[in-house]
Structure formats: structure tokens, C-alpha cells
Structure 1
Amino acid sequence: MILIVDSGSTKCDWISVDENGSQLLDKMRTDGLNPAILDEDKLFEIITSHKDLNKYKDEVKKVYFYGAGCGTKKPRLMLKGVLESIFTNAECEVQEDTFAAVRATLNQPDEAAVVCILGTGSNCSYFDGKDLHQRVYSLGYTLMDDASGNYYGKQLIRDYYFNHMPENIHVAFAHKYNLDADFIKLNLYKKPNPNAYLASFAEFMFLNKDSEYIRELIKKGLRIFTQNMILQFKPEIKSVPVHFAGSIAYFSREEIEEVAKEFNFTLGNIVRRPIEGLVNYHTNSK
């Protein structure tokens, strides 16, 4: 059994296949496994608490894990150790989520492209057809992650408290969420996964896209992301497409198309969940 795993900070999808790519079990989902935020015990608990992962762990021969928070060596090795302690008969490979986005969005394995992630967090890299290049390394949701779910959650809460929302949006937002100041601060400063908590508010945007305020909020974040991240690769985007992966990108297609025209880059593919593309990649390139 081969496990192919695509993890953000909020959720983690697991697909089990045989060597020919045939799916063995129903797709599984756990909470997100971000080793930059969660400790070893919590990572271990999340994986082993899933009934099927625990039941079939001894049958797993390979684990290909792609995840948020795996871009630097220390958390990547920590998660690899956790996986190897659970799937004791398996070879475990851990890569950052950018590689998942690259392998799932490219039209050809050797295609050159700029590849962006807009999910709970955000990132941007250039793939030259062989190697991945990053010119700015992410410092996480506190300082970076423009146009991500947690970015938009933060902007919505700020606009609500600073009274920058139109009245109808203000009322709808208050009706949908618990916006008590103590409750918000508890989730941001006391509970685990504050980035995922912030990202949970982003759904509100896509339920209210008929609002000009919401559409402009989305485009403002995309413009900032483009200026800070995509334009790192200004020479490259003259000749290669810009692909996107992640739920925020998927539901912001119209706004991304507008911003692409503003900044004169060629929009490529937008993939909501990279994991299906990863199955094809690993079973066709073995």
C-alpha cells in the first residue's frame, strides 16, 4: 500500500493506492498536520486516532507526504520521524506543499511555470522544469501569507471591529460567527492552530461575493500577493504561465483573472485539491 498525503494547516487528505495507482480505501481526511505549529505528540495523536490509518499502518510500504510547514529542515525531519514511528514498514518522504502544487498543476512534468498556493496559507515558487526556486521564504501567517485564508479572516475581523464593513455585511458577519472579543482572543492566543481559526472566516467571502466590498477585499489581497510574491519572478512570468492551487484560489478565479490582466501575467491552471494530480504523478513516474 502506498499513501499519498496532501496536508494544509486546516485539513489533511490521504489516498491509499497500489503500485498501479488503483485506489484501495476511501479517501481519508484528518486534521491538518503542520509540523511548524504542532508538536510531535499532537501529530502522532491526529494520525493514530484515524481508524483506518491505524488499522492498516503495517501494510503501508511508502508514504509520500506534502505539507504546509515542511519547507524548513527541522519541522520536516520531525514529521518524518513521526510518520516512520507509525508506519514502521514504510519508506517515508516529506516535502513542502509547494511541490504538491507544482506536481498537480503542471501540464507536463518538465513544464516551466510559476506556481502559487492560496489555501489556509500562501506561497509562490518558480519551477524551471527540473528544480524549484524560491526567492522569498515564508515566515508564516503572522508576517506573510498574503491572500490566504488566514489573511482574509484577519481582514474581515479587523474590518468588522473598525466598522469598515457595509451595514448589511456587518450584520451578516455578526450573525454567522461568535465575534465576542474574549472568544476571538482565546482562539488566537491560547488555542492551537490560530492560522486555521482565522482561515475559517474566509468562507464568508465566497457566500457573499455579490457584495462589491467582498470582491474588492479579495482583489486587494491578490494584488498584495502579486506584488510581494509573483513579481519576485518578473523576468520569468514574461514567458511562463502562473498556476494556482488551493481552495482560496479556486473560489477566487474571477478575481485572479482580473488581477492577472492588471499585472500582465498569464494565468494557467487553478486546482482546488492537488492530491488527485499527485496520485497520477507518483504512479506514472515510478
Structure 2
Amino acid sequence: MIAIADSGSTKTDWVILDDNLNEVLRTSTIGFNPYFVTADDISSELEKNEDLNPIAGEFKKVFFYGAGTSSEKLKEIVYNGLHNFFTNAELVVDHDLLAACYASYMGKPAMVCILGTGSNSCYFDGVSLREETKSLAYILGDEGSGNDLGKRLLRAYFTKKIPPHLAKAFDDYYKLTVEELNHNVYNNKFANTYLASFNKFVLEHRNDPFVQKIIYDAMSSFIEYQILPYEESRQSELNFIGSIAYIYEDIIRSVAAQYHLNVGHIIRKPIDNIVDYHKKYLINN
């Protein structure tokens, strides 16, 4: 059997194929971002999965693409965690940006953008990808992501920049103190996911002018920091992957138009496209 996995910081989608490349199973686990999980964490989470655990020894190959696997040291964390579980499999561990390129490639070079819990971008010419700007992760980077939107909302609330009606709605819903917030951010290895969880409030109030500006400013920052440094951005389509891109597609297209950029297609869950790409180009029968 063959496993293909697309992992963000929050969730990993798994598709299992038999030796004839027929899909036999889909399942999910938490995200395995090596900034936040150890090899032991990965093995432990996989062992909890009732779909994968009984058949772990039957896999011949595992293709894993994940957020955070941007260096050999970080890839090694994921590799070791997977190897401890898929003991008989050949493992391929690479960056989620590469999977995003596979998922969004439509025969011509393009900018490839990830907007989910975190964010990232690259230019893909059909063969290789190039990162003009390096990801600075959830504290210094992740512009336009769920994490970024959560931080912007929280900052506005606790600095009393938010309109009274939204402040009341936020207080009624969360009843959050600054002490609780700081504990959940600075004593939580999944702080990025915690911050991104506040996007639920952003989404529910997205038609409010104040919240619209939060979203618009976040997407503008993504364009300015992660798209405009690429010389090709003015001529190439911007293809997006991820739940945040899908949810706020209208605002993304509006912001991009202000910068005279062309948004192509937006894919919420890329796993199907990734599987198709592997069947066509990467898996030998």
C-alpha cells in the first residue's frame, strides 16, 4: 500500500492507495509541523489512529508533505516519527509548498500561495520551486493566515481598538482574560493553532466593516511581504491553497486587483489534486 499525506499545522489529510493505485481509505490526524511536535509526538498520534494502526506494517511507500519541513533538520524530525510507525515503508518527506505546487499546477508557471493556519509562497515553473522570501513562521510571519487574523483580532480587542458592539460580542463569546490569553500563547506548543482558532469570530463577523478591514489588511500584508518580492508576480497567476484562501476568496481577489495582480484558482483541500499528480508522475506501477 501507498500513503499520501498533506499536513498543515492543524490537520493532516491521508489518502491510502492499494498496489493498483485504487483508493482504499481516507483518514486524518493532527498536523505534524516539526516546529511544534517531536518525532515521538508523531509516532504516538499515528498509533492512536484506528484506521492506520492496524495496517502500519503493510505500507511500501509514504509520501508526506508538511508545513514546517523547510530544512533537513526539520524534515528529520518528521522522518523519524514516521519511520517509527511505518517500519517497512520507503519514506518521502518534503515541504507542503511542493505539494501545493503539485496540486495547483495547470501546465504553466505560477505563483503558489498557501493560506491556512499559516502562510507561505513560492514560484513554480513546472519543474522546480523557488522561494524568494523565507517563511518567518507564526510569530514574525504568516501574513494573511488564520494565525495572523487571530492575532489582529486579539490585538484590537485587548488594546480597545475594536468597536463596542464587537467587543461585547467577543466578550460574551470567549470571556477571555489577558492572563488566560498569555498562558495559551506562551505556554502552549500549539500556540499558532490556538491563535488561528479566533478566525471563527472573524468569519462570523466578516460583514462588519471593522472586521472586513482586519481581513483586508491581513491579505494586503500577505501580498506585500510574500508576493511582491517576486519579479514574476506581475506576469504570473497567483494560485492559492488552503481554507483561509477559500473562505476569503472575494477579499483576496479584491486586494490582488488593487495591486494589479491576477488571481487564478483557489483550492480549499488540495489532497485530491496531490494524489492525482502522484498517480500520473511520481508512482511507478
Q: TM-score, normalised by structure 1?
A: 0.95
DSSP 3-state at the match of 2:139:
coil
Instruction: Give CA deviations for 1:34-59 in whole Å, capped at 9, x if unaligned.
Output: 11221222122111111121111011
Matched, 1:186 2:177: no
Higher deviation after alignment, 4-13 or 176-185: 176-185
Aligned equivalents of 2:2, 2:171: Cα separation in 1 = 45
Corresponding residue for residue 209 of structure 2: 212
Matched, 1:252 2:248: yes
The answer to whether the 8 Å contact 2:39/2:82 transfers is no
Matched, 1:119 2:134: no
Corresponding residue for residue 76 of structure 2: 77
Percent of aligned pairs with the same residue? 38
Question: What CA RMSD, in Å, does the superposition of the two structures yield over aligned residues?
Answer: 1.3
User: How does 1:1-286 map onto structure 2 within 5 Å?
Assistant: 1-25=1-25, 27-108=26-107, 111-233=108-230, 235-285=231-281, 286=283
Unpaired stretches in structure 2, ≥5 consecutive residues: none
Give the drift of 1:272: 0.7
The answer to whether the 8 Å contact 2:115/2:241 transfers is yes
Instruction: Give CA deviations for 1:192-235 in whole Å, capped at 9, x if unaligned.
Output: 210010011112211112111111111101111111110011x3
The answer to whether the 8 Å contact 2:57/2:86 transfers is yes
Unpaired stretches in structure 1, ≥5 consecutive residues: none
Aligned equivalents of 1:207, 1:4: Cα separation in 2 = 33
The answer to whether the 8 Å contact 2:4/2:275 transfers is yes
Q: TM-score, normalised by structure 2?
A: 0.95
The answer to whether the 8 Å contact 2:38/2:81 transfers is no
DSSP 3-state at the match of 2:239:
strand
Are residues 20 and 260 of structure 1, via their aligned partners in 2, closer, same or farther at CA, if it must alter by over 3 Å? farther
DSSP 3-state at the match of 2:24:
coil
2:23 counterpart letter in structure 1: Q
Higher deviation after alignment, 115-124 or 39-48: 39-48
Instruction: Give CA deviations for 1:20-39 in whole Å, capped at 9, x if unaligned.
Output: 442212x2111111112212
The answer to whether the 8 Å contact 1:19/1:283 transfers is no
Aligned equivalents of 1:75, 1:214: Cα separation in 2 = 36
Aligned equivalents of 1:273, 1:3: Cα separation in 2 = 17
DSSP 3-state at the match of 2:197:
helix
Aligned equivalents of 2:5, 2:172: Cα separation in 1 = 36
Aligned equivalents of 1:56, 1:256: Cα separation in 2 = 42
Instruction: Give CA deviations for 1:94-134 in whole Å, capped at 9, x if unaligned.
Output: 111101111111223xx200001011111110012211001
DSSP 3-state at the match of 1:24:
strand
Give the drift of 1:19: 4.2
DSSP 3-state at the match of 1:165:
coil
Give the drift of 1:274: 1.1
Are residues 134 and 206 of structure 1, via their aligned partners in 2, closer, same or farther at CA, if it must alter by over 3 Å? same
DSSP 3-state at the match of 1:191:
coil
The answer to whether the 8 Å contact 1:20/1:283 transfers is no
DSSP 3-state at the match of 2:155:
helix
Are residues 20 and 164 of structure 1, via their aligned partners in 2, closer, same or farther at CA, if it must alter by over 3 Å? farther
Aligned residue pairs total 282
Give the drift of 1:154: 0.7
Give the drift of 1:254: 0.6
